[in-house]
Each structure stands twice: as C-alpha cells, then as structure tokens.
Homo-oligomer: A and B are copies of this chain.
C-alpha cells in the first residue's frame, strides 16, 4: 500500500530502557515503517536501542544497523551519518518510510540530532516527523522518587564534564540539577558534593528501567567503583516549598 512520494522519515525516542516505556505512538510507527535504522557501537557491536526494540518482535529484515565509533574524533562518524542520510533520503523519495531510533528522547544528547541536521541541510524536501520519548532524566527522577519541580522551581540538565566548579552557583538558582555523563568524572564530583549545603540531596541512578537498575542515595559509597555509562546524578534542594507559595498547575 505504499504510494510513491508518501514516505516520511521518523526520529523516534525509545524511552530510557524499559521497553514498556515506549509510547504507543512509537510502537505503532515502528511496526508500520519499512526500515528501522539503529545505531550500534563499532567497538562492542552492542546496541541498547536494539535490545529495547527486540521486545516489539518486529521482522529482523526491517533493521539497518549503523555502526558508530563514538570516539573523540568525530570525522568517521560524521561520514557514517552522511551515508545513512543518503540511504534514508533515497528510500523516502521512493515512497518508503524509515525511522531512526534513539534511547530516551530523540532531541536530547542523541544520535538522531546529527542525522536530522544533516538531513535538513542536504535534503530539505524529505518530510521529517519527530516522536518524543520519555527522557532518561524523568525516568531517573521517577526511579528515585524525587520531585523534579513544583511551583516556581527551576530545573537544569548539565553534562558533568562541563565544569563541576559551577555546581554551587547552579544550585543557588535551580531546585533540581541533573548531572549527565557522570561516570568519567565521578570522583571529582564527589569532592564537589562534599562542599554543598546540607539541604542538597544527591541520588545516583544507573541503567534506569532495566533489570540492572541501581538507585544509590549514599553516593559516597560509590567511591572507587567502575560506573555504568548509563548513569546520572540527580541533585535536589529540599526547601519544603510546599506549604507557602502559589499553586497553578495544569490538570
């Protein structure tokens, strides 16, 4: 039932790890599209995205694995993205549909962004539809049981590699700070945390939504451990803003 010219390119978020945290829209579209492009690491051949997809029991012939080096030198991967975009533009122009899937949300620290920007630049005629997913940040908050924001509170999402020395200033303004990509700088992070006020609580969560999920509230016990790539630190100010203040939330 494919009509020529009816193709679309979808950027689809798979959610943080639990296959049940896919949206109903993602599940439907993935069963409908002709091709599913999913990134995998060249080094390990592993693909967390593919692991989530397996729960959908789709035909294996749909999948197109795209191997990425994920190294500091972005040149090789940029060529891989360019080649994938060539292929996707070609099939879409033939009236087929293709999806690029990513963990979490497709617009938050994802491989889709590179594909999307390359596609916009070189093939602006290809229709793109982006399907948001549950980002890992909100899955981590749910696993930790920690409110993200209420009333006039502010939220920051910050890669830990950015500069941990800014943390005290950030916490002057933001009730909740998500520290991403924490695993490479965790020891330095612990030193910073020790200097923060008592009312700032830290929760470490790794592999959220998988059977290996770990939630650690006494983060100092993690010292010296090898941490997962899929890990995050959630910092929350406990200011008991609940009693005072104005409430005006959507229902």
Q: Tell yes or no: A25 within 8 A of B by CB.
A: yes
Q: Decide yes or no: A128 and B145 within 8 Å by CB, A20-B24, A114-B242 being known contacts.
A: yes
Question: Which residue of chain B has the shortest Cβ distance to A155 in the bound complex?
Answer: B157
A24, A106, A158, A230, most chain B CB atoms within 10 A: A24
Asked whether A138 lies within 8 Å of B24 as measured between CB atoms, the reply is no
Partner of A157, one of B20, B104, B141, B154: B154
CB distance from A29 to the nearest CB of B (A): 9
Q: Tell yes or no: A196 within 8 A of B by CB.
A: no
Q: Decide yes or no: A154 and B147 within 8 Å by CB, A15-B23, A138-B108, A250-B103 being known contacts.
A: no
Asked whether A117 lies within 8 Å of B152 as measured between CB atoms, the reply is no
The residues of B that contact A154 with a CB separation of less than 8 Å are 156-159, 162
Question: Which residue of chain B has the shortest Cβ distance to A162 in the bound complex?
Answer: B152
Asked whether A138 lies within 8 Å of B141 as measured between CB atoms, the reply is no
Asked whether B133 lies within 8 Å of A138 as measured between CB atoms, the reply is yes
Asked whether B251 lies within 8 Å of A70 as measured between CB atoms, the reply is yes
Asked whether B159 lies within 8 Å of A107 as measured between CB atoms, the reply is no
Q: Tell yes or no: A18 within 8 A of B by CB.
A: yes
Asked whether A74 lies within 8 Å of B138 as measured between CB atoms, the reply is no
Q: Tell yes or no: A21 within 8 A of B by CB.
A: yes
Complex CA gap A151/B146 in Å reads 26
The residues of B that contact A162 with a CB separation of less than 8 Å are 152, 154
The residues of B that contact A111 with a CB separation of less than 8 Å are 249, 251
Question: Which residue of chain B has the shortest Cβ distance to A139 in the bound complex?
Answer: B132
Complex CA gap A131/B68 in Å reads 32
Question: Which residue of chain B has the shortest Cβ distance to A42 in the bound complex?
Answer: B251
Q: Tell yes or no: A7 within 8 A of B by CB.
A: no
